[in-house]
Structures are given as structure tokens and as C-alpha cells.
């Protein structure tokens, strides 16, 4: 059952409403995707296959990540014993600082104030 419009078709003074555009279909990316799907369908290509540009970009991204991981591993292997020892000491100092902060949080406030007075 279709509803009829409230206006009369014969009256030229009335402005007829236009159908609103779908913002998704009006977007350029949607139009390009639709065009690409139509071309792939005409060629007989599978819809599951990715466009060439997207495949190339993914391949580059993947190879770049692999290259970065290899460089990081090489950097870890090339660390001298001195650098390893410095890293261990730095971690140990950080851990000690965290423990001291926890201990200071549990101390009464008058002790904190007294320590601040000694410093000044």
C-alpha cells in the first residue's frame, strides 16, 4: 500500500520535494569502491581479492615491521657487557626508588614535615 502525496500534481505553483541524497553513497570513497567492484565483476575477478595498491602497501608495511624487529634484535645482541650492567643497575635503582616512595607514603605526616625542616 503506497501513500499518495498531499499535493496535487496539476498545480504548477507548488514546489515538489526532492529525494534526499544518501551521504554514504554520495561520498567519493564509496563511489570509487563501487566502481572498482563493478570493474572486478566485469573482469571476472573474485570479490575477495584485494586491489593491487592495497596489496603493495600491506607488503611494504609488513616488510618494514620485519626490518624493524631485526634491527632491534641486532641492537640487543650488540650490547656490550658494560651496557648490560648499566641497564641492570638502572633498573635496580628505579626499583629502590619505588620502594622508598611506598615507605614514605606510610610514614606519619609529622615525620615528613620534620625531614623537610632538616633539609631547609
Give residue-wise pLDDT tens across range 10-25: 666 777 778 888 888 8
> Which residue's C-alpha cell is 638502572?
90
Give residue-wise pLDDT tens across range 98-113: 988 887 777 677 777 8
Give residue-wise pLDDT tens across range 31-84: 898 898 888 888 877 666 677 788 888 999 999 999 999 998 888 787 788 888
1: pLDDT strictly greater than 60 = no
Task: Give Cα 76 distance to the centre of its chain.
Answer: 27
Residue 109 CB neighbours (<10 A): 7
Report domain extents, the chain. 48-78, 80-119
- pTM passes above 0.85: no
Alpha carbon distance 95, 105 (integer Å): 16
pLDDT value of position 4 = 65
pLDDT value of position 75 = 81
87: pLDDT strictly greater than 60 = yes
Alpha carbon distance 115, 109 (integer Å): 10
Amino acid at each position: 500500500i503506497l501513500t499518495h502525496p498531499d499535493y496535487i500534481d496539476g498545480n504548477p505553483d507548488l514546489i515538489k520535494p526532492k529525494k534526499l541524497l544518501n551521504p554514504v553513497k554520495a561520498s567519493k570513497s564509496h563511489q570509487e569502491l563501487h566502481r572498482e567492484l563493478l570493474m572486478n565483476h566485469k573482469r571476472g575477478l573474485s570479490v575477495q581479492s584485494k586491489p593491487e595498491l592495497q596489496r603493495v602497501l600491506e607488503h611494504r608495511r609488513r616488510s618494514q615491521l620485519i626490518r624493524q624487529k631485526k634491527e632491534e634484535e641486532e641492537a640487543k645482541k650488540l650490547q656490550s657487557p658494560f651496557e648490560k650492567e648499566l641497564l641492570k643497575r638502572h633498573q635496580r635503582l628505579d626499583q629502590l626508588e619505588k620502594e622508598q616512595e611506598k615507605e614514605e607514603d606510610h610514614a606519619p605526616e609529622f615525620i615528613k614535615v620534620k625531614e623537610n625542616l632538616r633539609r631547609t
